Amino acid sequence: MELFLAANIWEMMHGGSTHLPIALMLVSAVFDALGGLIRFERVKDRLHAAGLFTLIAGTLGAFPAVLSGLILARWEIGGTGALFWHHVFLWPAFTLLIALSVWRLIVRGRRSRAGFFIYLLAAFAAAFLVSAAGFWGGEILLGGS
């Protein structure tokens, strides 16, 4: 039980799990963008499927990252310096990951051209936000403010 409560286990979990949502959200946005550009229906469908699966995997991977981060921060949201900026980008990114996943699961392939464009803008916004949260998390780790 002592190992479960030790800060070191949460640091390892947080450090290991944060890369998954960052990488997969970036890859998901790129897959969907490529799927929007490709004219061959079979390739387009596969790229959109890859975009969906990487989005869902990244969103699911965000939960242990957020949980372990909250435990490390003693359930405090906000903070100062790099932690403040980490949270400024983290919470909108996490919310957007969940919203995009829910939207994709509900809509599936029944989306309009305008709907897809809005989704793609939101996906790249989420990719930026999760990357910025990761940058500020790295600043915390490497001794930034």
Report domain extents, the chain: 2-141
pLDDT at 143: 73
Confidence of residue 1 (pLDDT cuts 50, 70, 90): very low
What is the pTM (predicted TM-score) of this model? 0.84
Average pLDDT of the residues of the chain: 87
Dump pLDDT digits (tens) for 60-82.
999 999 888 888 777 888 778 88
25-36: average pLDDT: 95
Percentage of the chain modeled with pLDDT above 70: 92
3-state SS of the chain is CHHHHCHHHHHHHHHHHCHHHHHHHHHHHHHHHHHHHCCCHHHHHHHHHHHHHHHHHHHHHHHHHHHHHHHHCCCCCCCCHHHHHHHHHHHHHHHHHHHHHHHHHHHCCCCCHHHHHHHHHHHHHHHHHHHHHHHHHHHHHCCCC
User: Could you tell me which residue, 102 or 19, shows the higher pLDDT?
Assistant: 102
